[in-house]
Structure 1
Amino acid sequence: MTTDQRTHTNPPAPYVEPAPYGYLYLGFRADPPRRVPFVLRSSRRREVLRRCQDLARQLKAMDQVISARVYRAVAIQPSSTSPRFDVIVLIETAAPDAIAAVEAAPACQQFGADFVMAARNIRRMGDIDASPSGTFLFNHFTADDADRALRYFDSVAGWFSHDAKVDDIALLGPLEAGPYVFVNQVRLPGTLAAFVSHLLHPNFRRSVSHKMHANRVGFASIICKPL
């Protein structure tokens, strides 16, 4: 049975105006782990990362491209809904209507990604800090009803800023229907171990995880480092 109760235990999310840019989210299954969450070194993945970095540099020369960043996964949440991307490229365009021109560019066509999602920013907390020393979380959300999933995301998002001290969040909503109702990019505020300790706390299960599962909203996380 699906409930329609919202959590009142979380403070309101400190949202700011969504960014006006467009996004191309590319996922690659270069050599993902099969049974363990941690992503080990791989010559096959290194080659994919090198190719992606080269193509990203070419895209940055386009007027319509604000940024093109390549990420390598360090851990993938074991989940039946996990996309198992061990390489991710996020391209930021000047506006959503610039996505088509960027996607048609020869460099973009050469990526050969396993998954491509054109998106816009639908929720934002702060500005994503792209420092190469950072650790990033990409959360892939699934649901039968995208509007309901967004409503419940809003009801739990305050936990991340208040309890986990996260202040850089960008929720990317697809421009066309696909397997994910949205993908959330988060820059972790400290170490990965510190963030995981928050996720293991009973308050996370009570205030976030149980609420999402009760309303049939699934999520699968990939933790990455930018190159």
Structure 2
Amino acid sequence: MTVDWRTHTNPPAPYVEPAPYGYLYLGFRVDPPRRIPFVPRSSRRREALRRCQDLTRRLQALDEVMSARAYRAVVIQPSSTSPRFDVIVLIETTAPDTIATVQADPAFQQLGADFVMTARNIRRLGDIDSSPSGTFLFNHFTADDADRALRYFDGVAGWFSHDAKVDDIALLGPLDPAPYVFVNQVRLPGTLAEFVLALLRPNFRHSVYRKMTGNRVGFASIICKPV
């Protein structure tokens, strides 16, 4: 069957109730690549990750922390809006109002992130599987109007569940002023190569890319592995 992309709409995303937790999204520019998307090995990054692992273990001992994990970037999308984080830390707190307590802890302050975004979950598809063998995507969305960007995201989110077979999506909306209207965490359902092939299909360009960029919603992806 031939699809007319001019009138095509994505199936609705099977959202579930947003998680009630608070989030601290931290980005570090340790040794990001300058001209290539793939992130090469780096002794500086390895040391930074070791330090982040030690500090996140300390944070996990806090009553207010549900989880805390460091990620190393493996691919950074070439984009003028990319934050170029080659190390990411995501901390999940018991509620948005316990974020400040975690931020006040010495272990958090010692992380010394280049970027910190406090957030809540505004959209969710399944539960994010934090398996250490997984591959994760963090997508950073920019727009002049956050509500409009969210409407357009809702209009394309079904592509990820229907066409890319993504089961786990957590959209994090900032609680304080931030350069991103939201950051999307996705656990890739298969290998990185399989996901990249899905992005190269014509239906991604028509169903997602053109709809978002045509409505002035930018996005920059970082693909990571947990450590």
TM-score (norm 2): 0.97
CA-CA distance at 1:8 after TM superposition: 4.9
Aligned pairs (5 A) from 1:198-217: 198-217=198-217
Counterpart Cα distance in 2 of 1:111 and 1:7: 48
Aligned twin of 1:161? 161
Distance in 2, matches of 1:90 and 1:187, equals: 14
- Identity across the alignment (%): 84
1:20 aligns with 2:7: no
Letter in 1 for 2:226: P
In structure 2, the CA distance between the partners of 1:7 and 1:67, relative to structure 1 (3 Å rule), is: farther
Aligned pairs (5 A) from 1:186-225: 186-225=186-225
Q: CA deviation at 1:176?
A: 1.0
Report how far residue 116 of structure 1 moved.
Answer: 0.1
Regions of 4+ moved over 4 Å: none
- Looking at structure 1, the residues matched to 55 and 106 of structure 2 have their Cα atoms a distance apart, in angstroms, of 9
Q: Which amino acid aligns with 1:182?
A: F
- Which residue of 2 is the match for residue 118 of structure 1? 118
User: What displacement does 1:93 show?
Assistant: 0.1
* TM-superposed deviation, 1:177: 1.6
Deviation string 1:142-169 (CA, Å, 9 cap, x unpaired) is 0000000000000000000000000100
Task: Say if 1:18 and 1:121, in contact at 8 Å, map to a contact too.
Answer: yes
Q: Which residue pairs with 2:145 in the alignment?
A: 145
Letter in 2 for 1:49: L
* Equivalence for 2:128: 128
3-state SS, counterpart of residue 127 of structure 1: coil
2:1 aligned with 1:11, yes or no? Answer: no
> Could you list the runs of 5+ residues in structure 1 that have no partner in the other structure?
1-5
Q: Contact conserved, 1:10 with 1:158, CA < 8 A, in 2?
A: yes
Distance in 2, Cα, partners of 1:170 & 1:210: 22
**Considering only aligned residues, what root-mean-square deviation do their CA atoms show, in Å?**
1.0
* 8 A Cα contact 1:140 1:180, kept in partner: yes
For 2:7 and 2:107, the matched residues in 1 are separated by 45
Q: CA deviation at 1:7?
A: 7.2
Whole-Å Cα distance in 2 between the matches of residues 203 and 122 of structure 1? 26
Residue aligning to 2:3 = none
Q: Distance in 2 between matches of 1:157 and 1:105?
A: 36
What secondary structure sits across from 2:161 in the alignment?
helix
- Give the length in aligned residue pairs: 222
Shift of 1:132: 0.6
Gaps of 5+ in 2: 1-5
1:11 deviates by 0.2
Q: After superposition, what is the alpha-carbon deviation per residue over 1:150-194, rounded to whole angstroms, capped at 9, x for unaligned? A: 000000000000000001000000001211000000000000000
- SS of structure 2 residue aligned to 1:110: helix
Q: Deviations over 1:169-220 (max 9, x none)?
A: 0000000121100000000000000000010000000000000011000000
Determine if contact 1:22/1:95 at 8 Å carries over to the other structure: yes
Q: TM-score, normalised by structure 1?
A: 0.97
Q: Find the aligned partners of 2:36 and 2:213 in 1 and give their Cα distance.
A: 23
The alpha-carbon distance between structure 1 residues 7 and 93, as it changes in their structure 2 partners (threshold 3 A), is farther
